[in-house]
A and B are shown apart, each in its own frame.
Chain A
Amino acid sequence: MLVTSVGKLRLEKPGMVASGIMDETGPSMVRMLKCGAGAVVTKSIGSEPNPGHPNPTFTELKCGYINAMGLPNPGIELFGAEMEIAAKSGNIIGSIYGASPEEFSRLAGKMEEYGAAAVELNLSCPHAAGYGMELGTDPAVVGSIVSAVKSSVSIPVWAKLTPNTHILKDLAIAVRDAGGDAVVAINTVKAMAISPQLGKPILSNKFGGLSGPAIRSIGVRAVFEIRAATDIPIVGVGGISDWKDAAQYIMAGACAFQVGSAIGTKGIDVFSAINTELERFMKDYGYGSISKMIGVAHE
């Protein structure tokens, strides 16, 4: 009942672990697959090892989390050892970040070699200079990266987009026109927190990305807008912590969804809870499959 597909990629369960959460090591990804996630998206991996920003890189807020990890990762060469452990246990989506179409293509080629079921291009991280949303807010740049990666790998190519723009649907159209297989929306919302008592920004990077319940309605709106503008498959992400949140994204037009912050707030059992309750809802309300529910809010 919960089976879905993102383009050509079939998923037994519609929920995935969002990039950046419990996905830097092979054993942690295996654990999340066992917890009922249909796939795990890896930490965003670059060409070289990167320590990320110094701590503080994270804090809880009233309505979610704010983080500026700064894309810490062991680099694509060493990440092969983690993929070797994880890829044989289920669908691993390789998240990658680069500064040029060539760099993205090389990283994507490695992920394909490591057994990734798809690659997710990080065109949306709000806290890494020269990467992420700095490239991902220009449709021409997005198109050239997607098209370069498409021509160098045969696994599906997904583009993760930022909500920190007024031209989100143009970005999604650019992904589709370049042959991209799906868009993932949304990444975190660029934000800031200041300690009044200390009179300073809390994150070492000053700015970070806001996630959790605070951004769910932004994400649902973004997915709805993209769906209205183009027919490219959409993976919805942003503030999902229960079946109602997941159903909103699906009804806005997503064929699958990702969960990040709720793995912290609800625990790793969040996937099995969403799976059970979403299935119960679908039975109660006469949705025979996920595909029957996709985009119904548009009708």
Chain B
Amino acid sequence: MSDTVRIVSIIDDSHDTKTFEFQWEEKTSPGQFIMVWVPGMEEIPMSLSKTARIKSITVKKIGKDTQKLHDLGLGAPIRIRGPYGKGFDLKKGKKMLIIGGGVGTAAVIPVVKETGADTIIGARTDKDLIMEEVAGKYAKNLWIATDDGSKGFHGNAVQLMREKVTESRYDLVLACGPEIMQYHLYKACVELGVDCQLSLERHMKCGAGVCGCCMMDDMRVCRDGPVFTKEQISKMKDFGVSTRDECGRRVKLG
């Protein structure tokens, strides 16, 4: 359940995002996450961006904890525990559309590799795009959306998804990205009558389904999720509306 691994390679994904690879024998499935810690930072949850024998986490520098990870070099030890949570349920025979927004793209890359399904990657600008090359190698079709139009479709990933779903029939959308993106994506899926599974995020402490800090309504993001079905999401009042801070206080999103 917990292990200390050493970084075997570091990939620069963009100006603020790096992937750290390590060898870890634990069996994991796409969409699962681990808790990651080195001394001097707070332990944080990270999705796995590779799930074979060589595993990886993809870290966007957003604060002091992610900065600490960015400072690590080859061979540095990291404490990890997990894998935790329920990943994507990849249904055979369904036509799938995979959507990654921002650094959330890293969490869906293992799904792209496993299914080869059509994929949309969204980012603010072409400089923020990550993993375009690997997605392009495995996805049947890869489409890019940037908010400023610097590459691919000019607009967000949800607008592009609406176009693609209207052009061609999909049975299931699989996604990870900022909650605001996924909120609009969920609404689009309801409107267009497409099933979906979304990977969600909340402040986590134990990661193992014990402490109850990462609740969305009565669901634990760490254990019942982080990937939730359309039906589960339809019952959530918190989704896209409010989160909980580290004291457990309700905080409005947005």
Contacts and interface: CB of A to CB of B under 8 A. Distances in A.
Nearest to A197: B4
A65 interface: yes
Contacts of B206: 57-58, 65, 67, 264
B213 interface: yes
Interface string B148-169: 0000000000000000000000
Given A28-B218, A200-B39, A58 B4 contact: no
A230 to B, nearest CB: 32
Q: Report the interface size class on chain A.
A: 35 or more
Given A27-B218, A50-B247, A51-B247, A263 B209 contact: yes
B247 A22 contact: no
A28 B245 contact: no
Interface size band for B: 20 to 34
Interface string A27-58: 11011000000000001000001111011111
B249 A58 contact: no
A151 interface: no
Contacts, number: 111
From B4, B210, B213, B250, residue with most partner A Cβ within 10 Å = B210
A49 B247 contact: yes
B81 A72 contact: no
B2 A59 contact: yes
A189 interface: no
B68 interface: no
A23 B220 CA distance: 11
A36 B213 CA distance: 21
Contacts of A43: 212, 248
A57 to B, nearest CB: 5
B248 A58 contact: no
Nearest to B249: A74
B34 interface: no
Interface of A: 20-25, 27-28, 30-31, 43, 49-52, 54-60, 65, 67, 69, 72-75, 78, 81, 195, 197-198, 200, 202, 204, 260-261, 263-264, 267
